[in-house]
Structure 1
Amino acid sequence: MWFGSLPGLSSQRRWPSTVEQGPMASATEQGMEAAASPVACYRELSQFPVVTRAALGATTGLQTFLLYTECSRPDLPRRRLLRFSRHYSLQRTGDGGLAVSQTALSTEIHHQLLSQDSPSGQHRAVLSRCPRQGHELLEVWGSGGRSHSVDLTALGQHGEVYTERPFACLAWSHSETRLLYVAEKIRPKPRPPSPWDVPGAARPAEEDDNEEGEQFVYHEDWGEALSTRSVAVLCALDMEDSSISVLEGVPEHLSSGQALWSPEDRGVVFVGWWHEPFRLGLNACTNRRSGIFHLDLASRHCELLSSEHGVAFSPRLSPDGHHLLYLEGDLGGPHRQCLRLRMLTWQTRQTVTVLDVVQEPTEAFTGLYGDALPPRCWAADSRRAILGTPQKSRTDLLLVDTETATITNLTARSSKGCWELLTLQWDLLVATCSAPHCPPSLVVAVLPPAGQELPLSWVPVEDAPTVPGVTWKTLTVQPPCSGAQAFEALLMSPPDGTVPHPLVVCPHGGPHAVFDARWRPGMAALCQMGFAVLLVNYRGSVGFGQASISSLISCMGEQDVADTQLAVKQALCSEALDPHRLALLAGSHGAFIALHLLIREPERYKACALRSPVSNLPALLGTSDIPDWRYTSLGLPYSFERVPHAEELAIMLLRSPIAQAAQVRTPVLLCVGARDRRVSPTQALELYRVLRAKGVPVRLLWYPEGGHALAGVEIEADVFRNCARWLLQHLGQPQQGGMGQHSP
């Protein structure tokens, strides 16, 4: 089970821990123990599972449903991600509600890469990797056991199957006889050295001169987190004869992904990304040229369904097969923007805009953001759809009526600040919800008829308790300049609000991202240790309208830094915080902001911990997978033919913290991944050398297998441990309820 019991919690559950608490241990005592050990605190709060996938199956009459979920959580002792499945039964009740019961114990998932249930729920496709040979296997399971098992690697029709966003898919045909997926295009293996390569050896006559030296040709990839992905192709498994085919007809200049079967299985709808003239980094960048295509399987004709020069992705076909929803954005510019929701009528090929770009937010709707629609987002009436999107500092579920283009926020009044729709089938919603002080809970609901959606009654499947004593609130910050839009910050506070707490300030990376009010184990752990945490959504964050995003262009290093300063000032004036014990904790562009703060106010912050920091803008032009952003962020035009000019490099250098790094006095911890393709780790190395030369306390952690996000169970735990200890070392142990010792 996830939780035991703890007196005083309404859920009647307690925190999982490797150190057993006595039955009478109070929340304050537990908080004190956590404060004494960052490692123990992080271990305890990181054990709450995250539901990564959910699927529904129905019995006759649609009165009883089977709910299957896949979950993951860190297994810190074994330094790996523990993955497991859980099963539940959902029963419709006489009053239109649901009764929930668990039907089986949790089962660990081994070696699985992807899985997908068929439309009827009678079959499950599983892509796994054989641990010994490393081969990829595609299997189909049903009530009678395994019906198909195909060794994809042995067949040699393609390279590795794509399991990462934005390409990955595993799609069933409507007839449930074929499976669609995406894999790397097969490439001839490099020819091993031949005898003629040895000096004096005779060269075989059959060797082709055109193949000489081909083994060292450079092949482009899709950048950060996609460094092994170059050309994606569509592949299909025919279960009648267990044959694999690579679909023909897709233009050579496209990489394919996010595929699904068209009505009546006559073709395939997919997203195609242009990779000419060369690839730019795709991870977390929804502004790359892409389109929605239809490939007719009989004629091999490939038709572009969206605009020619734009951005389109995440297609979702309605249950009746009449409409196709997808997201559309503008080409170039900020890497994440406010998007349009578009709908195509399949028979006529006519497209309409259901939701347009929102320049200025309203109370009802602040715009549509994100990189994907939920896998199943359509209601059974093929008219309504549900999607999740940031709405300022929340992530809410919105119901969209595609005929009237009206929006109903289903979760706006919830105490939970982040909602994610896992699946919607037979008008049953399965979702997770969390808050900064509450781990994710799994909930279900019945979608009422149109016009009667509110209030929506959520039924808990697996509930999670709140962190004892930790609270949070949203601060609205108004810049002093006339006409400037307000922004927000999330303040997390530790137990006992009467004690002035040290404050850890966290501007987010991106920069066009957002700190929504979700569960973050590391931030909650800092609160349990006695630190207050301020998560700043400066102007330019997504969720606040396109005008806010655009306002940051040309103002990098100025507006974002000033906004963070203003948020800190407001928090210090209105909350029980210690103004003499401030620290910075940030990554990527957030680290860029933090460095500017250290330069502008060298005496204010007593400690700083940075991950994958941006410090030298012109140096990124030749080292980053997104060189276009270096121009766009400063309001400079970008084109693929672009080469840097001296005056532009000068502007970038003037905006770079490295140019004034000699003014930093605050102790700095740097954490970088050696495989970072987005922000070269040499940025941190250069900064490290400057600070060392000036005698500033500095420490550099170098993770050989780490990428830009420094992801992975072992790396994430080590980064938190070192950052927490750095804060304790330079801020002192936080005071707890008047019982701790205050450090100057």
Structure 2
Amino acid sequence: MATKGPEVVTDSKEIAEIYKEFSKFPSLSKASIGPEVISQYGGKYCNIYTEWSQRDLERAEWVKFCRQYIMFYDEDSIVYTGPSGNCTELQGELLTEESPSGIFKAVLRKHTNKKGEEKQFLEIWNKNSKEKSINLSGLDMHGKVYEDDQFGCLVWSHSETHILYIAEKKRPKTETFFQTKPQIDMTEEDEDSIKPEKQKPVKGDVFVYWEDWGEELVKKSTPVLCVLDIESNSISILEGIPDHISPGQAFWAPNDTGIIFVGWDHEPQRLGLQHCTNRKSGLYYVDLTGGNCEQLSSQAKAVWSPRLSPDKCRIVYFEGDVGGPHHRCSKLCMYDWYTKVTSTVVDIVNQPGEDGFTGIYSSALPQNCWAMDSQRVLIGTPQRSRKDLLVINITTRNVTSLTSGSDAGSWTLLSIHQDLMVVTWSSPNCPPSLKVGFLPAAGKEQRVTWVALNETKILPGINWKILTFTPPLEQKNPKFPAMNFEGILVTPSEREEGAPTPIIVWPHGGPHSVFTAEWMLYPVTLCRLGFAVLLINYRGSIGFGQNSVFSLPGNVGSQDVKDVQFAAEFVMKEEFINTSKVFIIGNSHGGFLASHLIGQYPEFYKACAMRNPVINIASELGATDIPDWCTVEAGFEYTTGQLPTPPLLEAMLSKSPISFASQVKSPVLLMLGEKDKRVPPAQGLEFYRALKARGVPVRLLWYPDNNHSLSKVDAEADGFMNITLWFIKYL
């Protein structure tokens, strides 16, 4: 007799309670390992500092908190681990970094005064107290400090006497032509002697447009390298940086002789950087004494995420081609500081071989990613539908997985110090867990023993598995025929006898992105409510080899659409799924696919929900921060200053979901972010008006102060409730 399981939960209060329960699981954002301490009894121990993020639904904001652990060990075996005290909420911290010795800590903090003005302070802490608090806003040397992952950094010099960070360049003060102030007569000599910050405001420039770096980097236009001298409290803005580049991801050169950084070309235009690793950029070195700046990497490539080895002899970084798909397989390159020789450590993988290695698809290396021997680098990267930890030997070029034979799920390296690794692991039915383990000697890397610092339990009643799909012969790509794709199916484990499960089909955005088998709030909560969820990594996804990525441009709206439909129909046949209760959801390019599918297969999907979808590539071209996306995905090469032509616009329109809007029958829920620069809300409005005019049930939710991700806590929670109730309405 089959076990009777719950039907789909339909009560809004119960749905809200389940969402509230699942949203409490925090995610790890940072870990650092303190210096080794030898106790009076001869044992060794260290402290592990971790930072976590959690949704607070009552306050409608993300809460950041820290927790510390103590770990006793003997050589390379862990004797004891445990938490040290309770969690503590972090207030106003934007960036933090411990000094190399572990004695000091730098904190960039924001503080809002009684007038509502936000100030930024740079604080220096020792083990016992706060030593300094410097009002960066009051010094008025630069604009706001960058705290983002793209440019931002907070780095101690090796001597621990200076701190390096990135800030917005100070802009000249402006005023209108009609502003009147008391005038003081000055001679030319007087004017020349006035300090720059005291010079007259520039008239008529109040409303001059400053181009920024796009989605999630709004108001970040012209970054500068800043150095704080801790002893004198003085700040200097580094000179010598070429005018045509924006510096970021900086760190101190060996012996503190200068600064190494990534510089992104911003002439003749700034294209959106978020999730785009294909922007022209280089690895640079600026000498602190002479102010000379030289490029260390090749001239016409995209580079990112440089990291200096512990012996301060080598720099590894990612490199890829400029233009084309926004994210794809990249090289791991290495620059030898003393021989000045650049080499490729891991090359691009077009088609995975027998070893199964699919290439590197990481958007960033951890700040600490080198083994103690300065011969091995650790990388977390998607490998098909999982994220694995890889160790790469820079001498032998061997790539070994540390996690392929371990628990199913996905792994992320947070930090490594003295070969002690701190990682996080999760799966679609298990929240993030913090683990530690020692990296074994070279050649024995697969023998890691992982010890959990915080225990998380697999949620009962939820199963998942990875499915592989082989496109039928007529749907194979002629250029890349030997290619399959995958999906992650999350299902309620208990079903009522004779009652097949309704399913939600979910293609990812990007399109050159991937779903990995990890904890995701929406899918797991929908599953707990009684839905099966199919997350689809169609051809074009990263993690499957470079050929997968390059198979999609020029074929959007057809190859990706057919992949999603094939996967959905395959699961209908093979699993215990209710074929009359199929729903679809998608974000960004996933919304592009969802709106295509309800137009091309109008009888298949009961209802549809989409967040910031691409609807009309042609009309998006002039409004998005990534116009090259429109051109490349339509099958054309993008050139700066490119003007639209009738053939280009016709191709874009023919590949867009708006072309099938007249065939849509499924009820549609649209969720749009008012401040989305990637897929401006006019895209969703265009679809809303087209459907409304044709009598299709459509509902539009408009989220002020939200960008493309719709990740503000209140918008995310409201979106979940509305999606769930929309699907329940049409069950």
If the TM-score is normalised by the length of the shorter chain, which range does it land in?
A: over 0.9
Equivalent position of 1:493 in the other structure: 491
Note closer, same or farther for the CA distance 1:211–1:60 as it changes in structure 2 (3 Å cut).
closer
| 1:236 and 2:227 are equivalent in the alignment | yes
Partners of 1:195 and 1:202 within 8 A in 2:
no
Which of 56, 60, 63 is residue 79 of structure 1 equivalent to? 60
**TM-score, normalising length from structure 2?**
0.93
How far is 1:694 from its partner? 1.0
**C-alpha separation between the residues in 2 aligned to 1:41 and 1:341?**
43
The residue identity in structure 2 corresponding to 1:548 is S
**C-alpha separation between the residues in 2 aligned to 1:472 and 1:408?**
26
Equivalent position of 1:478 in the other structure: 470
Which of 37, 47, 54 is residue 66 of structure 1 equivalent to? 47
**C-alpha separation between the residues in 2 aligned to 1:202 and 1:146?**
45
Structure 2 SS opposite 1:176: coil
Equivalent position of 2:109 in the other structure: 128
Note closer, same or farther for the CA distance 1:151–1:582 as it changes in structure 2 (3 Å cut).
same
The residue identity in structure 2 corresponding to 1:670 is L
| 1:224 and 2:215 are equivalent in the alignment | yes
Equivalent position of 1:305 in the other structure: 296
**C-alpha separation between the residues in 1 aligned to 2:529 and 2:327?**
34
Structure 2 SS opposite 1:689: helix
The residue identity in structure 2 corresponding to 1:714 is D
Which of 443, 459, 467 is residue 459 of structure 2 equivalent to? 467
Partners of 2:174 and 2:201 within 8 A in 1:
no
Partners of 1:196 and 1:203 within 8 A in 2:
no
Partners of 1:196 and 1:204 within 8 A in 2:
no
Equivalent position of 2:645 in the other structure: 645
- Mapping of residues 111-126 of structure 1, within 5 Å: 111-126=92-107
Equivalent position of 1:409 in the other structure: 401
- Mapping of residues 61-460 of structure 1, within 5 Å: 61=38, 63-93=44-74, 96-132=77-113, 133-191=117-175, 194=178, 211-362=202-353, 363-460=355-452
Structure 2 SS opposite 1:462: coil
**C-alpha separation between the residues in 1 aligned to 2:530 and 2:245?**
52
Range with bigger deviation, 521-530 or 139-148? 139-148
How far is 1:73 from its partner? 0.3
Equivalent position of 2:611 in the other structure: 611
Give runs of ≥4 in structure 1 deviating > 6 Å.
Answer: 26-36, 201-210
Partners of 1:223 and 1:677 within 8 A in 2:
yes
Partners of 1:111 and 1:131 within 8 A in 2:
no
The residue identity in structure 2 corresponding to 1:352 is S
The residue identity in structure 2 corresponding to 1:172 is W
Partners of 2:23 and 2:55 within 8 A in 1:
yes
Structure 1 SS opposite 2:77: coil
Range with bigger deviation, 447-456 or 662-671? 447-456
Instruction: Name the count of aligned residue pairs.
Output: 703
Note closer, same or farther for the CA distance 1:150–1:687 as it changes in structure 2 (3 Å cut).
same
Equivalent position of 1:10 in the other structure: none
- Mapping of residues 497-516 of structure 1, within 5 Å: 497=495, 499-516=499-516
**C-alpha separation between the residues in 2 aligned to 1:203 and 1:183?**
33
Structure 1 SS opposite 2:206: helix
**C-alpha separation between the residues in 2 aligned to 1:196 and 1:183?**
32
Unaligned runs of 5+ in 2: 192-198
Partners of 1:613 and 1:683 within 8 A in 2:
yes
Partners of 1:98 and 1:445 within 8 A in 2:
no
The residue identity in structure 2 corresponding to 1:414 is S
Equivalent position of 1:592 in the other structure: 592
Equivalent position of 1:23 in the other structure: none
How far is 1:39 from its partner? 1.2
Structure 2 SS opposite 1:77: coil
The residue identity in structure 2 corresponding to 1:41 is I
**C-alpha separation between the residues in 2 aligned to 1:136 and 1:318?**
31
Structure 1 SS opposite 2:730: helix
Range with bigger deviation, 57-66 or 173-182? 57-66
Partners of 1:119 and 1:172 within 8 A in 2:
yes
**C-alpha separation between the residues in 1 aligned to 2:84 and 2:21?**
27
For the aligned residue pairs, the C-alpha RMSD in angstroms reads: 2.2
**C-alpha separation between the residues in 2 aligned to 1:414 and 1:33?**
38
How far is 1:38 from its partner? 2.0
How far is 1:212 from its partner? 3.3
**C-alpha separation between the residues in 2 aligned to 1:421 and 1:33?**
39
Note closer, same or farther for the CA distance 1:384–1:597 as it changes in structure 2 (3 Å cut).
same
How far is 1:642 from its partner? 0.8
How far is 1:496 from its partner? 1.4
Structure 2 SS opposite 1:154: helix
Partners of 1:495 and 1:528 within 8 A in 2:
no
How big is each residue's C-alpha offset from its partner over 1:345-374, in whole Å with a ceiling of 9 and x where there is no partner?
110110110000000023431010021111
- Mapping of residues 515-554 of structure 1, within 5 Å: 515-554=515-554
**TM-score, normalising length from structure 1?**
0.91
The residue identity in structure 1 corresponding to 2:536 is V
How far is 1:28 from its partner? 6.8
**C-alpha separation between the residues in 1 aligned to 2:689 and 2:459?**
40
Which of 14, 29, 41 is residue 37 of structure 1 equivalent to? 14
Partners of 1:118 and 1:176 within 8 A in 2:
yes
**C-alpha separation between the residues in 2 aligned to 1:129 and 1:55?**
22
**C-alpha separation between the residues in 2 aligned to 1:195 and 1:643?**
40
Equivalent position of 2:27 in the other structure: 50
**C-alpha separation between the residues in 2 aligned to 1:684 and 1:612?**
6
**C-alpha separation between the residues in 2 aligned to 1:561 and 1:30?**
30
**C-alpha separation between the residues in 2 aligned to 1:30 and 1:464?**
27
| 1:661 and 2:658 are equivalent in the alignment | no
Note closer, same or farther for the CA distance 1:209–1:101 as it changes in structure 2 (3 Å cut).
closer
Range with bigger deviation, 207-216 or 632-641? 207-216
How far is 1:121 from its partner? 1.6
Partners of 1:675 and 1:705 within 8 A in 2:
yes
Partners of 1:113 and 1:126 within 8 A in 2:
yes
How big is each residue's C-alpha offset from its partner over 1:696-715, in whole Å with a ceiling of 9 and x where there is no partner?
11000001111111111111
Note closer, same or farther for the CA distance 1:30–1:382 as it changes in structure 2 (3 Å cut).
farther
Range with bigger deviation, 31-40 or 365-374? 31-40
The residue identity in structure 2 corresponding to 1:448 is P
How far is 1:32 from its partner? 6.6
Note closer, same or farther for the CA distance 1:196–1:52 as it changes in structure 2 (3 Å cut).
closer
Note closer, same or farther for the CA distance 1:35–1:671 as it changes in structure 2 (3 Å cut).
closer
Partners of 2:7 and 2:530 within 8 A in 1:
no
The residue identity in structure 1 corresponding to 2:451 is V
**C-alpha separation between the residues in 2 aligned to 1:723 and 1:709?**
16
Note closer, same or farther for the CA distance 1:263–1:131 as it changes in structure 2 (3 Å cut).
same
**C-alpha separation between the residues in 1 aligned to 2:166 and 2:180?**
39
Note closer, same or farther for the CA distance 1:28–1:366 as it changes in structure 2 (3 Å cut).
same
Partners of 1:27 and 1:468 within 8 A in 2:
no
Structure 2 SS opposite 1:615: coil
Note closer, same or farther for the CA distance 1:35–1:411 as it changes in structure 2 (3 Å cut).
farther
How big is each residue's C-alpha offset from its partner over 1:522-571, in whole Å with a ceiling of 9 and x where there is no partner?
11000000000000000000000110100001101000000001111111
